[in-house]
C-alpha cells in the first residue's frame, strides 16, 4: 500500500481533471489518489470513474452535493485516517498547483515536518496570471490573519499542502466547520498553536487555464469574520 494519499476535490473540473491526474502520476507515481467529487453536473464524476477504472491507485468518492471545500477535505481526511497512510496531500484540481513540487514537498514531510505548505508569499514564491486585485486580496488576507492570530505562517490561506497523518489525528477534526480559505487558515493555525512543525516551500501558483474559479465574496467574508473572532478569543486567553 502507498504511504501517501493525494486528495483531489472536484466540482465541475472536467476540463482539467485528466491533465492534473496525469501530472500527479508523473511526479508522484506511487501515491494513491482520492478524487472527491461533489456531484458535478458537468460529468467530472463520470470522468473520474473512467480514470479510476484504468488505474488501481485511484479511488473516487461521490458526494451527494456541493458541500464546500472544508467538508470535502474532511471526508478525504476521514478516508485517509482509516487506513495506514503517513501523508495526506491537498492539491487543487484546476491545475493551479504544480505537481512537480510534490517530490520536494514529500521530502520535507519525510524529514519531519508535520505540515508542508506550498507557499506563494514566502521568499521565492510567486503567482502567475493573477489580476492585481486577486493578489491584493490574497496578500491582505494573509497579512490580516497572520497579525490577528499571531501566526508566523506567510501563506496561511494556501491550498497546496502535505500533512502528516499523525498531526491530523492530534486535532478534533469533527469540530471544524470552516469552509474555503477559512478552512485552510483554521487547520494551519490549530496545528501551529499545538506546536507542530510547519515548513513553507516556495511555489509558483498559476491561475487556472480552464473552467470557472470557485472564489466568491462569501468565502472572503467568512474568513474575515472567523479570523477576527478567533483573534478576540486569543486576546482574552
> In this predicted structure, what is the pLDDT of residue 179?
80
- How many structural domains does the chain have? 1
Pairing of strands 87-90, 4-10: parallel
Domain that holds residue 83: 4-236
Q: Using the structure block, give the residue that is written with the C-alpha cell 486580496.
A: 137
pLDDT of 220 reads 65
Tens digits of per-residue pLDDT, 102-141? 999 999 999 999 999 999 999 999 999 888 888 888 888 8
Q: What is the DSSP string of 81-103?
A: HTTT-SEEEE--TTS-S-GGGHH
Taking 90 as the threshold, does the pLDDT of residue 215 lie above it?
no
CATH of the domain at 167: 3.90.550.10
The pTM of this model reads 0.90
pLDDT in tens, 36-73: 999 999 999 999 999 999 999 999 999 988 878 899 99
- Grouping H, G, I as helix, E, B as strand and the rest as coil, residue 32 is strand
Amino acid at each position: 500500500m502507498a504511504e501517501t494519499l493525494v486528495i483531489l476535490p472536484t466540482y465541475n473540473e472536467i476540463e482539467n481533471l485528466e491533465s492534473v491526474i496525469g501530472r500527479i502520476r508523473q511526479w508522484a507515481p506511487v501515491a494513491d489518489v482520492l478524487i472527491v467529487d461533489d456531484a458535478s453536473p458537468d460529468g467530472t464524476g463520470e470522468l473520474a470513474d473512467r480514470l479510476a477504472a484504468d488505474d488501481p491507485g485511484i479511488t473516487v468518492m461521490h458526494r451527494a452535493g456541493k458541500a464546500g471545500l472544508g467538508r470535502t477535505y474532511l471526508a478525504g481526511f476521514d478516508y485517509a485516517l482509516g487506513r495506514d497512510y503517513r501523508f495526506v496531500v491537498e492539491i487543487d484540481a484546476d491545475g493551479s498547483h504544480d505537481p512537480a513540487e510534490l517530490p520536494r514537498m514529500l521530502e520535507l514531510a519525510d524529514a519531519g515536518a508535520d505540515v508542508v505548505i506550498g507557499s506563494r508569499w514566502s521568499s521565492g514564491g510567486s503567482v502567475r496570471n493573477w489580476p492585481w486585485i486577486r493578489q491584493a486580496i490574497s496578500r491582505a488576507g494573509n497579512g490580516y490573519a497572520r497579525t490577528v492570530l499571531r501566526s508566523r505562517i506567510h501563506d496561511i490561506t494556501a491550498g497546496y499542502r502535505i500533512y502528516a497523518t499523525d498531526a491530523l489525528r492530534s486535532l478534533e477534526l469533527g469540530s471544524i466547520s470552516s469552509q474555503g480559505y477559512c478552512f485552510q487558515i483554521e487547520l494551519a493555525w490549530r496545528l501551529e498553536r499545538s506546536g507542530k512543525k510547519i515548513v513553507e516551500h516556495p511555489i509558483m501558483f498559476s491561475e487556472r487555464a480552464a473552467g470557472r474559479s470557485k472564489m466568491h465574496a462569501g468565502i472572503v467574508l467568512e474568513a474575515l469574520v472567523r479570523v477576527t473572532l478567533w483573534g478576540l478569543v486569543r486576546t482574552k486567553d
